[in-house]
Amino acid sequence: MKDRPNILVIAIDSLRADHLGCYGYPHATSPNIDAFAREGALVERFVCAGLPTHPSFTTLYTGQHPITHGIVAHGPRNALGKDSPFLPQVLLEEGYTTCAVDNLATGRLWFRRGFEYYIDPSMRHSLYIDVTSEELNARAIPWLKAHADEPFFMLIHYWDPHWPFNPPARYQHLFYEGNPTDPGNRALERWWQHPLGAVAKDTWMRRPEGLITDPDYITALYDREIRHVDDGVGALLGALDRFGLSDDTVVVLLGDHGESLVEHGIFFDHHGLYDVTLHVPFLVRWPGHVAPGTRLARMLQHHDIAPTLLDAAGVRIPREMDGESFLGLLTGASDAAGRERAVSCECTWQAKWSLRTDRHKLILARAPDLYGSPERELYDLAADPREERNMADENPELAAALTDELESWIATRLSALGRSEDPLRQHGISLNFS
Amino acid sequence: MTQDSHVATTDAQTLVQSYLDAFAARDLARCLDFYAEGAEVKFVSGVYAGRAALEEWHKERFAADLQILRVDSVSVDRDTVKIDLMLASNRLKFFRINSLAARATVRLDAGRIREAHFGPRFTDPFEGW
């Protein structure tokens, strides 16, 4: 037994919580992840702080909210400041052997910080998002075996549930019966008018038998990709068992952001500050420390992850991290953690802030979006969990109060950082893939 | 281009270059004439099979003003021609991508295109460092 635990972070791109069995999904998308969830803790309300992938992973690594680290969008205008702390860098300095099985550093070099080993199997693909869980595991599992005697930190980034949804043929019988290319089905025509929809229509939605027209089929493809990555997770956890590492390893499984499938007229992408995109799974297994079957109802966010993992490793948490450790919640030692408010933002496909309370969510646009959505949206998450009825006009007092609270939060944080301009206004919508 | 002239064109590289010339000239009929019966175009991860689908694919590319900015390399291996190029289009410009490194892999059969795959080309960010 080592005196410090190994840390394995399993990050799954575009994985929304409500399509996993352990979060109540009725289809068998996730038998391995569900079994893993039963062995440790499940966070019921884990809310993404920054969309999409680059802001979210930067938040995870730095332990800072996007307003602090400044990476609010994809695109070349971004650069992470040297003064931002970085989880693998801290762990490396503390004697951990650090390894990423990932490809984000191909686009942005800061994702390489602090990793002694950076393994990128996607270099064999023309599109980095095409890398499969099998290819990642083929590199990750031998690495785990080779480094079993060292305290290690590994982050593995699976991409299977990210579009384009092209699951292997062995999953093709799952979750759908119908005619995916029925020319009479016009349910996606509005989506074809969106620039992202036009790209999808021209590329991955085009099959030898014709153009996919049934959104239910695409949802099934997404679910098949979840089953695909679930098998990958099962293989990785199985290897951890075989190498005798499971008892000594804190394993975290999370989504960087979710995916809007058909909701709100946003088809098959991860923009929009609705819960389908913000609510992601967060699971932790640490035998002997986290009781099996633990469920946490408190609201948590990605910038809480790095402080928590450093806490678990017994490492001092850099004061520049503005997330909070929730290790006490996980172990049952304390209940003094969790958020009453969660602020999220996006600036890649649209520029918006959101403020989530226990009961309500306010979404505030800094620029018009392509859907013609109102500048301000307010939802009662208890009465309307699908966020289908904007009540900003019928409850203007509450909308104004939450707007004031959000604007005040932004202004206070900026002031503390010595800045004045809202980063969404400063950056502008990037419309950038990578 | 007639079927006879297709047959006469035995040099794979020349045939593919002729196709690219027809594409650049936005000559839909001539482009389609290069394709064999039952040919397929793979466009990134999409598949266009059959003449109507191929016609639609070409029309969409013309409408987006897809242009070949530069040919970086051409290689021929038996019946397959591989071309690395730089592309631009209105659709890419919307996403603020001024040019895109791409690869066309074209497999020929009896003087016609049997299968063509057009997609982005991986460029190693550390190349040249």
Is cis: bond before A164, omega within 30 of 0? yes
Determine how β-strand A6-12 pairs with β-strand A152-158: parallel
- What number is the average pLDDT over the span A380-394? 97
Q: Are A103 and A120 in contact (CB under 8 A)?
A: yes
pLDDT band at B128 (very low <50, low <70, confident <90, very high): low
Residue A256 is encoded by which pair of tokens?
């960087």
pLDDT band at A431 (very low <50, low <70, confident <90, very high): confident
Q: How confident is the model at residue A434 (pLDDT cuts 50, 70, 90)?
A: low
Q: Where are the alpha helices (DSSP H) in A72-194?
A: 87-93, 133-146, 189-192
- Chosen for mutation from A126, A194, A209, A434 (greatest number of chain B CBs closer than 10 Å) is A126
Q: What digits encode the pLDDT tens for the residues A224-276?
A: 999 999 999 999 999 999 999 999 999 999 999 999 999 999 999 999 999 99
Spatial separation of the C-alpha atoms in residues A210 and B128, rounded to whole Å: 42
The helix (run of H) or strand (run of E) holding residue B113 is strand B112-120
CA distance B13 to chain A (A): 23
Instruction: Please tell me the predicted confidence (pLDDT) of residue A430.
Output: 85
Structure token digits, residue A63: 């332990």
Q: Do residue B40 and residue A166 have CB atoms under 8 angstroms apart?
A: no
Residue A301 scores a pLDDT above 80 = yes
Name the residue in chain B with its Cα closest to that of A197.
B91
Nearest to A204 among B45, B57, B103 (CB): B45
ipTM of this complex: 0.84
Q: Hey, is the C-beta of B65 within 8 angstroms of any chain A C-beta?
A: no
Placement of tokens 């059959």 in the chain: B50
Average pLDDT of chain A is 95
Q: Does B47 touch chain A (CB under 8 A)?
A: yes
The pTM (predicted TM-score) of the whole model is 0.94
- Could you tell me which residues come within 8 angstroms of residue B25 by beta carbon, excluding any fewer than 6 positions away? none
What is the distance between the alpha carbons of residues A173 and A152, in angstroms, rounded to a whole number? 39
How large is the average pLDDT for residues B65-94?
92
Q: Which amino acid is at B2?
A: T
Average pLDDT of chain B is: 88
Interface of A with B in 402-431 (CB under 8 A): 430-431
The tens digit of pLDDT for each residue in A11-35 reads: 999 999 999 999 999 999 999 999 9
Residue A140 has pLDDT above 60, yes or no: yes
Contact check, Cβ <8 Å, A208/B49: yes
Confidence at residue A124, expressed as pLDDT on a 0 to 100 scale: 83
d(CA A1, CA A22): 31
Residue in A127, A206, A430 closest to B47 by CB: A206
pLDDT tens per residue across span A76-128: 878 899 989 999 999 999 999 999 999 999 889 999 999 999 999 998 888 88
Q: How many beta carbons lie within 10 A of that of residue A331, not counting itself? A: 18
CA distance A431 to chain B (A): 5
- What's the confidence (pLDDT) of residue A162? 96
pLDDT reported for residue B2: 47
The nearest CA of chain A is from the CA of B8 a distance in Å of 30
How many Cβ pairs closer than 8 A exist between chain A and B? Answer: 58
Which chain A residues contact residue B44 at CB under 8 A?
127, 164, 202-204
On whether the CB atoms of residues B104 and B113 are closer than 8 A, the answer is: no
| Residue B127: pLDDT band with limits 50, 70, 90 | low
- B121 touching chain A per CB within 8 A: yes
pLDDT of residue B82: 93
B110 CA: distance to closest CA in chain A (Å) = 23
pLDDT of residue B4: 45
CA-based nearest distance B7→chain A, Å = 27
pLDDT band of B125, cuts 50, 70, 90? low
Binary contact (B45, A198; C-beta < 8 A): no
With an 8 Å Cβ cutoff, are A203 and B44 in contact? yes
Confidence of residue B5 (pLDDT cuts 50, 70, 90): very low
Contacts of B39 in chain A (CB under 8 A): none
Distance of CA B70 to the CA centre of its chain: 13
pLDDT at B10 over 60: no
- Quickly tell me which residue has 């109540």 as its tokens: A24
Does B1 score more than 90 pLDDT? no
